[in-house]
Amino acid sequence: MKERTEAQKKIVTRFAPSPTGFMHVGGVRTALFAWAFAKKHNGTFILRIEDTDRAREVPGSIEQIMESLKWIGIEWNEGPDIGGPHGPYIQSQRLESYKKYAQILIDKGLAYADPYTKDEIEVFRKKAEEEKRPFLYRDHRPTNPPVWDGTQPLRYKTPVIKSYEWHDLVRGDLKAGPEALDDFILIKSDGYPTYNFAHIIDDLEMGVTHIFRADEFISSTPKFLSLYEGLGIEHPQFATVPPILGSEGTKKLGKRDGAKSILDYKDEGYLPDAMMNFLAFIGWNPGDEREVFSPSEFVEAFSIDGIQKAGGQLNEDKLDWLNKEHIKMLPTEDVKEKIISYISEHTKKLDTFNLRIDSIVPLIKERIVKFKDVSDMEEQGELQYFFTSPEYSKDILLCAEKQRKGKEHLTVKDLKPIFETLKELLNSLKEDAVISPESIKEALWPFADAEGRGLVLWALRTSLSGKERSPDPFVLVSVLGIQESVQRIDIALQKLSHE
C-alpha cells in the first residue's frame, strides 16, 4: 500500500471541480484559499477535474474552469493542461487506478458487488419507512455476493460501525456517531468511480496534504475516515471553509439563487486583483485593519487561522469599492487601455478621439467603479460630447430658468447676454499659453458671482455637453479647447434665436 514519505510531507493542495457548468464565486474562493496556502509555503497546487458524473457534464466546462482561475490569477503547478508527475489530472482518464484500489478492498473483504436491482432497493427503503427507521444499505448486505465483474455497482463494506472524531483546521474538533456510517458505492455500474472513492485515491496518489473544502462535506467525513482506515492510509488535513451567503446574509449562495459565473465579473469590467481581494475577505480576515491587498500581499498575509467558521456575505457594494481602489492603483496607461476597450468602434473612429482621449481618461476614471461603466456612459450619451458637438433641444437651455435667483420669469432674451458674455470671456483666454480648468474658472467666476453661479454654470454646462449633468464645465472647456467651446456656445445662441 502506498504511504506518504517524509519527502511527500511538502504541502500539496488541490482544487478538484466537476465540469458541470460555470464556476461561481464559491468554487473560486475555495480554490483561492488552497492556492494561497500552497504558494505561501512553497508547496504544490494541483488542478484536478472530477468528471465521473457523466450525466451532468457540460461541454466546455473544463475550459471555462481554467479560464476562470487564470483570470483571477490562480496558477497551478500540475494540471490537465500542463501535466505533471501525478497525471493524468482528469478522473475519467484514471479508471485503472480506481480499479486497482477497488481490487485491494475486495481482497481485504471490504468491498462487494451489489446484486440488487433498483426495485429491490426501493422495497427495502419502503419497509424501513414503514418501520420508522433509517434505511441503511449495511442492513442488507448479501450473504454470498457475486464476483464483481465491473457491470454491477461495487460497494464499500464498512468494517466497523463506530463513532468518529477528527480535527478540522478551521472548525476545530468534530465528531459523529455510528449512524453516519453506511455501505456506499465505490464504483458505479458504468465503470466510473463515485466522488467518495475517487477523490480519496487521487489525493493519495498525488500526495495531497491539505484539503480545502466546502462545509457540505462534513457530514460525509465519517465515511471517508472509514475508507482511509480500510485502505490503511493516513488522511490529509481538512480545512473546511465557511459558506458564502447571499446578499440578504441568511441563505447560502448557489447557482439557483443568482450566483454568477466568475467570468461575468470579468465581462463587467472588474479587475482580477480586485476580485481576488474581494473573495479573500469573504470568510477570511488578516487580523488587522487592512482591506486592500495585492495578490502577493494576500498570499503573504494568508493563514488558515484567519479563516472564520461562520458564513460570509456576498456584498457587491464592497466589490465595487474595492474595484475602485484597485483602479486608482493602476498606471494611467493601463487605465487608458481598459477604458478604450469598452468604447465603441464608432466613437473611436471620430476625428477628435485620439486628440482628446488622454484628457478625458482622468474624468472617466473618477466616475466609474468598473470598466463596463464606460460602455454605460457611452450608451447614455455621456461620452460623445467630448468628441463631437452634442444634439439637444433648446428646452434644456431654458431650464436655466430654475437656476436664476431673484427673477421668476427668465426669457430667451435674458439668456442671450449670458452666452455672449461667456464667449467674450473665453475668447479673452485665447492667447494664454496654458488653458487650465483653474485659469478658466478664474476668468469666469466674477461674472458667475454677479449673474448667479447656478445660471452661468448651467448655461456653460448645457451648451458644451447638451446634458443636465456632466463633469465640471471648466474642465469641459479645458478638454474641448477655447475654439470648440465658443463654437458650441454659438450653436446654443442659434437654438435660442429660433423660437
Share of the chain above pLDDT 90, in %: 83
From the number of C-beta atoms within 10 Å of its C-beta (0-12, 13-18, 19+), residue 229 rates as middle
241's grid cell: 471553509
The torsion defined by the Cα of 352, 355, 357 and 362, in degrees rounded to 10, comes to -130
Expressed in angstroms, the distance from the first to the final Cα of the chain is: 94
Q: How confident is the model at residue 410 (pLDDT cuts 50, 70, 90)?
A: low
> What pLDDT shows up at residue 442?
93
**Do 311 and 243 meet the contact criterion of CB atoms below 8 Å apart?**
yes
Average pLDDT of span 130-157: 94
From the number of C-beta atoms within 10 Å of its C-beta (0-12, 13-18, 19+), residue 498 rates as exposed
E strands, 303-390, in order: 312-313
> What pLDDT shows up at residue 347?
95
Q: How confident is the model at residue 3 (pLDDT cuts 50, 70, 90)?
A: very low
Cα–Cα–Cα angle for 340, 344, 346, nearest 5°? 120
Tally the C-alpha atoms within 13 A of residue 401's C-alpha that lie toward its C-beta: 11
Cα–Cα distance, 63 to 81 (Å, whole number): 10
| DSSP-assigned letter for residue 260 | P
Type of residue found at 121: I
> What pLDDT shows up at residue 126?
95
Cα–Cα distance, 208 to 224 (Å, whole number): 15
Residue 400 has pLDDT above 90, yes or no: no
> What pLDDT shows up at residue 2?
45
> What pLDDT shows up at residue 435?
82
> What pLDDT shows up at residue 5?
45
Q: What are phi and psi of 425, to 5 degrees?
A: -65, -40
153's grid cell: 455497482
Tally the C-alpha atoms within 13 A of residue 229's C-alpha that lie toward its C-beta: 13
> What pLDDT shows up at residue 6?
43
Cα–Cα distance, 474 to 429 (Å, whole number): 13
Q: What are phi and psi of 113, to 5 degrees?
A: -70, 130
318's grid cell: 464592497
Of 450, 410, 447, the residue nearest 426 (C-alpha): 447
Q: How confident is the model at residue 412 (pLDDT cuts 50, 70, 90)?
A: confident
319's grid cell: 466589490
Cell 498575509 belongs to which residue?
301
Q: For residue 8, what is the enclosing H or E element? A: none
Catalytic residue among 100, 255, 407, 430: 255
Q: How confident is the model at residue 1 (pLDDT cuts 50, 70, 90)?
A: very low
Q: Which residue has better confidence, 14 or 399?
A: 14
Look up 348 and say whether it is catalytic.
no
Q: Which residue has better confidence, 311 or 412?
A: 311
Average pLDDT of span 42-62: 94
- Chain-wide mean pLDDT for the chain? 92
pTM: 0.90
- CB atoms inside a 10 Å sphere around CB 460: 28
Cα–Cα distance, 482 to 480 (Å, whole number): 7
Q: How confident is the model at residue 499 (pLDDT cuts 50, 70, 90)?
A: low
**For the ranges 376-380, 409-413, 429-433, the one whose mean pLDDT is highest:** 376-380
